A and B are shown apart, each in its own frame.
Chain A
Amino acid sequence: MDKNRYELNVQLAQMLKGGVIMDVTNVEQAKIAEEAGAVSVMALERVPADIRKDGGVARMSDPSMIAAIKKAVSIPVMAKARIGHFVEAQILEALRIDYIDESEVLTPADEECHIDKTKFSIPFVCGARNLGEALRRVAEGAAMIRTKGEAGTGNVVEAVRHMRTMNREIRQLAQMPVEEVTGFCKSNGIPYELALKVKELGRLPVVNFAAGGIATPADAALMMQLGCDGVFVGSGIFKSADPAKRARAIVKATAFFNDPQKVLEASMDLGEAMPGLEISQIPPEQILAERGW
């Protein structure tokens, strides 16, 4: 990928800042999301809550379904490829969608290697639990990062953990004398050059969104106040009682995350949120965030 192309891909993510990216499973939902003010939609066959319930192998969605959604909306369309499944990514690039999510929500295709994203012209977003994981993905060519909160649970605790961990590690790095950076990189599996960049910038070198378990306007505003550039909402919208209303409310709360009065207004009369799942009740082999490294 040439330098201009990567910059353009990072810059598209910049244009999504302050916005909400919503999981949708059909044209009708995509239109509801766009109408509510989503900055992008993630097209997939089943939202994470259903993938979790159904079990089995979760793969890239049917391209004809993704194509129908792409045709129905004017906002950018994202879709998921399995971790390491570079052919699914090639198919999504050939389909000319706008962004690929190399996602732990799908069953990994490769337990050793993530996709070499530098070989693609299309941009990738990848999940990360900490600074090392985020920068390894950036080193592989990711143009955008998101937290790896436990998808399909309606429980924001893991996304908060990931964001706090990244922030803590960024602060440590920023205050560290440069001779300590090598050791910090060694113990955290961080590419050295990128660590120096983060030290200088005081944040990740690409846009970082919150993802996983966001179910309410308050969850979205919480992640924004923790320093995220925007939010993904997966099951949280279309597994709730009134998706259109909740979608609009989360868009409002994300834009005005620092204004409690407006987040309060957004939180009124939304009906039931999606059912939540306590993380400790999930069998260890079903923890999605452990997929990928």
Chain B
Amino acid sequence: MSLRLVSSKPSVIGVLDLQGGVQEHLEHLEAIGIPYKRVKQASDFTDLAGLIIPGGESTCIARLLDIFEMKDPIINAHRNGMKIWGTCAGTILLAKEVTGENSCLGLLDIVVERNGFGSQLDSFVCDAFIPCVASEPIPLTFIRAPKIIAAKNDVNILLKLEDYIAAVENESILATIFHPELTGCLAWHRYFAVKCGLNPSMDDKQEFFNNEWKTSSWMKHSRIA
């Protein structure tokens, strides 16, 4: 974590640490020089400029949010200015409507279909150009991803592919059905940090890609020896 001057403005991005790809996001936040922390209980929300709800199994994370009464702290922090970014399962948890089941947080006016592509054999990678996020095409990783079927009212579409929407945002929430934390691309984490009012470090060489990143980079947050 980099050193920051003490100020009253929230400067930390938290990663909801109940289940799923937590370390992968911590690794990216570290790479762009943003102070980060794991968020596991209501008292962890105090100084957050933003919260990332990571990929994982949305039914499991939803169940844990219920059991440990974490929904209200998230909704209240959001009301008080905390920005939120959901990746994959996170998108499902943020959606106002989930096809065939109840919504969880219901903060973002989108309709989502869980596991929209099929089985793991249908997981895939592709490249896409999203002008407001990066000036060149960036890699996207879809793992048993949901599909965003509709974006309503204040929600803007950032990326549409074939018959589904892959990334959306409104003023305070970003949602992506793919996993930017599973590639070396830092563009989405930078984009979210700026949305949170923070200043991610701008190393020219690292603007989009962390050249030191490997698929195993997250493991330094989970070493045994």
Say how far A5's CB is from chain B's closest CB, in angstroms.
9
Cα(A205)–Cα(B143), bound, Å: 19
Question: Taking each of A19, A20, A34, A170, which has the highest tally of chain B beta carbons within 10 Å of its own beta carbon?
Answer: A19
The one of A39, A77, A202 in contact with B224, judged by C-beta atoms closer than 8 angstroms, is A202
Cβ–Cβ contact A123 & B120, under 8 A: yes
Residue B96 at the A interface, CB < 8 A?
Answer: no
Q: Are B216 and A201 in contact, with the CB atoms below 8 A?
A: yes
Q: How far is the CB of B89 from chain A (nearest CB, A)?
A: 8
Q: Which of A248-268 contact B (CB under 8 A)?
A: 248, 251-252, 255-256, 259, 262
Query: Do B64 and A202 have beta carbons less than 8 Å apart?
Result: no
B225 CB within 8 Å of chain A: yes
CB contacts (< 8 Å) of B17 on chain A: these are 18
- Knowing A14-B182, A123-B120 are in contact, say whether A255-B215 is a contact too (CB < 8 A): no
* Contact mask for chain B residues 1-34; partner A; CB cutoff 8 A; 1 contact, 0 none: 0000000000000000111111110000000000
Of all chain B residues, which has the CB nearest A208?
B224
Chain B interface mostly helix, strand, loop or mixed? Answer: loop
Q: How far is the CA of A39 from the CA of B182 in the complex (A)?
A: 19
List residues of chain B with CB within 8 A of the CB of A75.
Answer: 57, 59-60
Instruction: Return the contact of A39 from the options B19, B22, B120, B124 (Cβ within 8 A).
Output: B19
- Contact A74-B59, Cβ < 8 Å, known A15-B143, A202-B223, A203-B225: yes
Report whether A36 and B120 are in contact in the complex, using a CB–CB cutoff of 8 Å.
Answer: no
Q: Digitize A158-180: 1 where CB-to-B-CB distance is under 8 Å, 0 elsewhere.
A: 00000000010011011100000
Q: Is A96 an interface residue (CB 8 A)?
A: yes
**B125 at the A interface (CB under 8 A):** yes
CB of B63 within 8 Å of the partner chain:
yes
Q: Contact check, B120 vs A9: say whether CB atoms are below 8 A apart.
A: yes
Let me know if A121 is at the binding interface, CB within 8 A.
Answer: yes
Contact yes or no, B59 A37, CB < 8 A:
yes
- The reply to whether B121 and A16 contact each other, CB–CB distance below 8 Å, is no
Q: Would you call A19 and B19 a contact (CB within 8 A)?
A: yes
Cβ A34 vs Cβ B59 within 8 A: yes
Given A18-B18, A98-B120, A201-B223, A252–B67 Cβ distance below 8 Å?
Answer: yes
The answer to the question of B123 belonging to the interface, with a C-beta cut-off of 8 Å to chain A, is: yes
Q: Which of these binds chain A: B72-80, B111-119, B200-208?
A: B111-119
Given contacts A8-B123, A12-B144, A121-B121, contact A202 B225 (CB under 8 A): yes
* B141 within 8 A of partner (CB): yes
A74-B20 in contact given A37-B64, A122-B120 (Cβ < 8 Å): no
Residues in chain A near residue B67, CB distance under 8 A: 248, 252
Instruction: Report the bound CA distance from A175 to B224 in whole Å.
Output: 12
User: In the assembly, what is the distance between CA of A20 and CA of B60, in Å?
Assistant: 9
Given contacts A75-B59, A96-B121, A251-B64, are A256 and B115 in contact (CB under 8 A)? no
| Chain B residue with Cβ nearest A252 | B67
**How many B residues are at the interface, by size bracket?**
35 or more
Can you list, as one digit per residue, whether each of A1-33 has a CB less than 8 Å from chain B (1) or not (0)? 000100111111011111110000000000000
> A29: shortest Cβ distance to chain B, in Å?
15
B144 touches A11 (CB 8 A): no
**Closest B residue, CB atoms, query A163:** B224
A196 surroundings in chain B (CB, below 8 A): none
Of all chain A residues, the one with the shortest Cβ separation from B54 is A15
B21 CB to closest chain A CB, in angstroms? 5
* Nearest opposing residue in chain B for A77, CB measure: B119
A residues 50-88 near B (Cβ < 8 Å) are: 70, 74-77
Contact A18 B56 (CB under 8 A): yes
Question: B residues within 8 A CB of A252?
Answer: 64, 67-68
Q: Is the CB of B216 within 8 A of A205?
A: yes
Residue of B nearest to A143 (CB): B120
Among A14, A70, A77, A256, the residue within 8 A (CB) of B218 is A14
Q: Are A15 and B56 in contact (CB under 8 A)?
A: yes
A residues near B141, Cβ cutoff 8 Å:
8, 11
- Any B CB within 8 A of the CB of A227: yes
Residue B88 is within 8 A (CB to CB) of chain A in the complex: yes
Which of B60, B68, B224 interacts with A19 by CB under 8 Å? B60
Chain B residues near A130 (CB-CB < 8 A): none
Q: Which residues in A have their C-beta under 8 angstroms from that of B21?
A: 14-15, 17
B50 at the interface (CB under 8 A from A): no
23 pairs, A vs B, C-beta closer than 8 Å: A11-B141, A11-B179, A15-B55, A15-B56, A15-B144, A17-B19, A18-B17, A18-B56, A19-B20, A19-B56, A34-B59, A36-B63, A37-B57, A37-B60, A37-B63, A37-B64, A98-B120, A98-B144, A202-B223, A202-B224, A202-B225, A205-B219, A256-B40
| B residues whose Cβ falls under 8 Å from a Cβ of A | 17-24, 40, 55-57, 59-60, 62-64, 67-68, 88-89, 114-115, 118-121, 123-125, 141, 143-144, 179, 182, 215-216, 218-220, 222-225
